[in-house]
Amino acid sequence: MMSAEVAVVGLGYVGLPLARRACEAGMETVGHDIGADVVDGLGRGRSHIGDVTDEDVGAMLAAGFRASTDPGILTGARTVVICVPTGLTATGTPDLEPLRAAVRTVARYLEPGTLVCVESTSHPGTTEEIVRPLLEAYGLRVGEDFHLAYSPERIDPGNTGFTFRTTPKIVSGCTTLCAKYAEVFYEQLVDTVVVATGTREAEMAKLLENAYRYVNIALVDEAAVYCDRVGIDIWDVLRCAGTKPFGFSAFRPGPGVGGHCIPVDPRYLMTRAAEQGFTFRTLRAAREVLDSMPEHVAGRVRDLLHAAGRNPAGARVTLFGVTYKADVSDTRESPAYPVARALRALGARVAYHDPYVERFEVDGEPVPRHRTERDALAGSDLAVLLQEHTGYRSADWDGAGCQVLDTRGTAEGRRVTRL
Ligand SMILES: NC(=O)c1ccc[n+]([C@@H]2O[C@H](COP(=O)([O-])OP(=O)(O)OC[C@H]3O[C@@H](n4cnc5c(N)ncnc54)[C@H](O)[C@@H]3O)[C@@H](O)[C@H]2O)c1
């Protein structure tokens, strides 16, 4: 079989759209993933990623795309792009094991002249200090025998305004030539390539982008908690402040942050900085605020139920939208988990409604699902709007007798109370 131009390692939210784009750009593309179900599905033309349709996978297969759990598929690939998860361990610390495992695999198939590019998010220094030694273990040298680059992914699931091609891509390399190879590779896939001075600058740029969101979301969340306490309408404050045409970017409060990136990436930076004897104080403060938001939501639920003369213990509370962002099916790190936990601790009978999520389990215990909005509202004493799925914009929140706590500031109705 012919060697591929591009091999993508890790065919998830980041790797699969990259492979699709490479196929579109006419590159002979293959993929390697340790998930047999992922590989089987793709082989049958089925996508497991919201932003990639089955038709897209069909077009990829027609263009010659092949995926395998066998890393032998990497043999001879000119460019290998690593897109494996960099999440947190059970104790909340950065988990670099999947990245190390993937790099060890790539090292076994490395050939002179290959460009290896890491896209997984990690702390500054990862490419040089962790990836490079593992790749060099079999004797080939970066900059002499093969090229090593880092290019952070900026994929934004559900975003139809910016695509892989139209989102500028930062690239960097261990040497100037490594960066050049990466630049030439990505120029074939995206409209704009931005070359960073080095891999640590590119790694830090990615973490800064997400730390910026983390800190600003924490700021508006804390402002919302303060405004609630002193009787100021935070949503009107945001409407007014948002009219400033310069110097102010609007962020919106909510029940906390979720997903694979925003709550996770700052941990990589904080942990690494701490190892280096540096305390990232803004991130530490932001984390404290963000971690407290699910409890704040549960506290508002308790107060609303008490005000209506109901005991939270035994009250039927339904969570609307349990994903980490709107209009996606991904529940990773969703604040819906700690909100459900806090409500259960109050004795509430928690259920959920989410058109995108078939099954939602918290601490091993399934949360009962309402299939329709109407049933969910009719079967609840209080509904909590956690996620602003587009479909909820037309919901009749007053249609049943239940109260509604809107944590997103988008619902209208006499029974609606905002965070
Ligand atoms: N999801 C996003 O929106 C997003 C955006 C920007 C950056 N990132 C970063 O991109 C990276 C990948 O994230 P993702 O959301 O695509 O993850 P994901 O969990 O959706 O997909 C990762 C895939 O890698 C596979 N995998 C794990 N270990 C492997 C190994 N050793 N060899 C081969 N395959 C392996 C998994 O089976 C999975 O299919 C992470 O570092 C993440 O922080 C994600």
pLDDT digits (tens, 9 = 90+) for 378-417: 999 999 999 999 999 988 898 888 999 999 999 999 999 9
Band of pLDDT at residue 269, cut at 50, 70 and 90: very high
Q: Measured between alpha carbons, how far is 403 from 418 in angstroms, rounded to an integer? A: 11
Residues of the chain above pLDDT 90, percent: 90
Closest CA to 351 of 324, 383, 325: 383
Smallest CA separation from ligand 1 atom 30, residue: 102
Whole-number pLDDT of residue 90: 86
Looking at domain 235-418, its CATH class is alpha beta
**Atom of ligand 1 minimally distant from the CA of 16:** 16
**What is the Cα–Cα distance from 38 to 43, expressed in whole angstroms?**
9
What value does the mean pLDDT of the chain take? 95
**pLDDT higher than threshold 90 for residue 50:** no
Nearest Cα residue to 362 out of 404, 333, 321, 392: 333
pLDDT at 85: 95
Per-residue pLDDT, 274? 96
Specify the pLDDT at position 217. 97
pLDDT at 307: 94
Q: How many CB atoms lie within 10 A of CB 413?
A: 14
pLDDT of residue 1: 52
The pLDDT of residue 116 is 98
pLDDT at residue 69 above 70?
yes
- Taking 3-state DSSP, the helix, strand and coil percentages for the chain, each rounded to the nearest 5, stand at 40, 15, 45
Catalytic (active site) residue 178: no
6-197 and 235-418, same CATH topology = yes
Which of 32, 83, 324 to mutate for ligand 1's pocket (most ligand atoms within 8 Å of CB)? 83
Question: Residue 2 pLDDT > 80, yes or no?
Answer: no
Q: Which atom of ligand 1 is nearest to the CA of 261?
A: 43
Distance of CA 409 to the CA centre of its chain: 22
Q: Which atom of ligand 1 is nearest to the CA of 86?
A: 41
Q: What angle do CA 195, 196, 199 make, to 5 degrees?
A: 125
Average pLDDT over residues 177-201: 98
Minimal-distance CA residue to ligand 1 atom 21:
12
CATH dotted code for 6-197? 3.40.50.720
Domain definitions of the chain by residue range: 6-197, 235-418
What is the average per-residue pLDDT within 116-136? 97
Tell me the pLDDT tens digit for each residue of 276-317. 999 999 999 999 999 999 999 999 999 999 999 999 999 999
Per-residue model confidence (pLDDT) at position 31? 98
pLDDT in tens, 95-109: 999 999 999 999 999
pLDDT in tens, 152-175: 999 887 788 898 999 999 999 999
So what's the pLDDT on residue 113? 96
Taking 90 as the threshold, does the pLDDT of residue 353 lie above it?
yes
- Residue 195: its pLDDT value, please? 98
Burial 335-352 (b: 16+ CB within 10 A, else e): bbbbbbebbbebebbbbb
Residue 56 CB neighbours (<10 A): 19
Mean pLDDT of 360-365: 96
